[in-house]
Structure 1
Amino acid sequence: MLMKARKLDIIGLCETRLTGQGTNLLHDNYHLIYSGGGEAKHGVGVILTEELAQKIEYLVYKNERISSFPFALGTRTIRFIQAYAPQLGRPHEEKEEFYENLQEVKNSVPNSNNIIILGNVNGHVGNKRLGMNNIIGAFGIGNINREVENLKKDFLCKYKQAIDTDKDDREDIGNINDNWLYFKNATIGTATDIVLCKTTYGRRRKQKAWWTKELQLAVKEKMKRFRKWIKIHPAEDRENYNRARQEVERVNRIAKQESFEQIGNYLENEFDGTKTLIYPSGEDGIPTELLKNLGDAGTFWFLEVCIGFRNGGRNPDDLGLDIICLIYRKGVKTNCSNYRAISLMPYALKVYERMMESRLKKCVQQKLDERQCGFRPNRGTNDLIFTLKIISEETRE
């Protein structure tokens, strides 16, 4: 069975088309709980394991579109509500009746219970959830439609219930590694779409600074003469091709030189020669400029990911990798001892370290001895060194 292979304890069903209400025992001791009407249409149900079936306190069969049942899990009670909303195109009155029944079932649940809504709302939640992070999940696709707009306005926003959007066989991102990879790929993918890239015949290529219009025309002319020469190999066309190739090399050399001079002038004028223009990224591939320009929504998302690191007690495997770069110092270049190694850490890890450092400082400062003056804010060791020097001189006398 698919549930056994995927290690699922419960799964919601819609459009069961079973009449009446009741339970059935399936193979492998899985239980089916269904709720239908007088006709074989619509219908909802759930399939759950033997262990969960024994923990159900009672069943509520509302109608062919809604059913609910509470679980007693330790000291907590979790109420599952299985719902199946009317399809797009159904009468408005039928949809209003569905949401009224759903609200009625929700209101009957004690405040001490946790509520989980399963099923299908027959709508597109879309991929934009800014300001709705506690209501809409992170796996929506496309654009939101009117059905979900009504759901948010009439039910979800009022009572802050969560939608578990259909994952379409997407991987679960509940653990630390997947949460980080999801954030990283989304950030890099968005930057690739809009920053320093151009599309050439359906492919994305990085734009070189010296790829000027003059160089493009020279390369085009070189390829034109090459195709003419390659057909019958006359000596005259070969000479024309060689001259065109030399012209490309000349134009490319001049364009590179001008580009490097522009970069040097920019460094001199803007940074006064104290900073570099290019900040290489770590193994994660996220440069510091992306982290600085995430915006409010992206910054809040990054904060949620960092909180997951702290709560999980460890960092993602991706952030534990550094890039080792060798910096030549002096001497023979073939001698390895003439190189100094530096490691490029991911900037996201540096930001997370600063966040943890600011939190730890508040705890550590309270526990340090009053005589500890080094490496503390608003304190210095000058007075201690002076006192030690005086004591040493008096002892010698």
Structure 2
Amino acid sequence: MMQRRKIKSLCVQETRCKGNKAKILAEGYKLLYSSESPESRNGVGVILHRKLQEEVCEVNKVNDTVMYVKMMFGREMVTVLTAYASEAGCSEDGKEKFWRDLDGVMVGVPENERVIVGGDLNGHVGGRKESVQEWWKIDSAVIRKTGEEVFWLTSGRGVPEDKEAWWWNEEVQKVVKEKKDAKRKWDMSRSAEDGQAYKRAKKEAKRAVAKAKAESVREAYEQLQKNQDMRQLIWIGKSRDKASKDLTAIKQMKDEIGIILHGHGKIIQMWLDYFEKLLNEENVRVKTEEGGQTKD
């Protein structure tokens, strides 16, 4: 969906992923997430396009309800903040803690940086309870209708837990597209003929995916047996480890007062100043009782 809509960055909530890591999704997108456990309703994350992954200079996972990512958009530093205000079953202390954490992050962002907040804050509209319910009754139908027309309907099962795309090829892409088109047509018509066509397309897609996976695994084993060494295994291990990290490339650095520098010239000058001070600064010498000198 992100690739079709040309979305480069997306804030998500209720990820239900375990831990504070990152994972590679389909089409080269990467999910940076913060969560406690899959059973928890909380969990926030930011999905980034491959072109933005190397522009990330800081990731702060405050907790499983608030996190932010700092990155460069052109020549501008931008903070993308994702948050989830859990309401059902949450105590008043928990709600207050969420707003304190969110406020702490917002206060800590420098004034010269742009902030983009994408979150599910569970807010309410209207001064009275009756007005809120009346508003929702009228407008929710319009919202759902617009969503179906723009994004279409899904099965509701969600994304599979360890979704991988290393076996993806043009043939799989073609049959999956045909399956989606058949599903969309069936959702609109609800006819028995379109339903049978969707079932056939679904079987073909499953068959193509299984074939592509088996072929990719066979090629990988043949390559490993051909090399007869550990280099390929080490490369695979390093690639998987790199994919699980938030930062994969560092193009910025902070100066002495914490301001993020971007630009080759400024970074080189910062390193020159640092090493000049390190190699040429004299430490204070203190005389000892024996008459010698020691460095303080």
What is the TM-score with the length of structure 2 in the denominator?
A: 0.42
| Larger Cα-atom Rg | 1
The one of the two structures with greater contact order (alpha-carbon pairs below 8 A, sep at least 6) is 2
What is the TM-score with the length of structure 1 in the denominator?
A: 0.32
